Amino acid sequence: MTVTASTETTVSTGASQVSLVDLLDRLLGTGVVLAGDVVISLAGVDLVEIRLNALLTSVRADMARPGRRTP
């Protein structure tokens, strides 16, 4: 095989060093959806997905800002 790309296997444990994107993977797409009184009047289940698109835009702006930690 000719592929010589770098390789790594990482294992991490614990809540502290979790990246925001990994956190959102778990907190947005999943979990019990108990229709809260506030959120139910918004777009319901789709709320967070809609917002996430907007988030992408703000991430770009955020990362462009000097001194910010890259997620």
Min separation Cβ 57 and another protein, Å = 8
Give the binding site for another protein (CB under 8 A).
1-3, 5-13, 15, 18-39, 41-42, 47-48, 51, 54-56, 58-60, 62-63, 70-71
- Distance of closest approach, residue 66 Cβ to another protein, in angstroms: 16
3-state class of 55 per DSSP? helix
Burial state string for 31-48 with b = 16 or more CB within 10 A and e = fewer than 16: eeeeeeeeeeeeeeeeeb
φ, ψ for residue 14, nearest 5 deg? 100, 160
Find the shortest distance in angstroms from Cβ 46 to another protein: 12
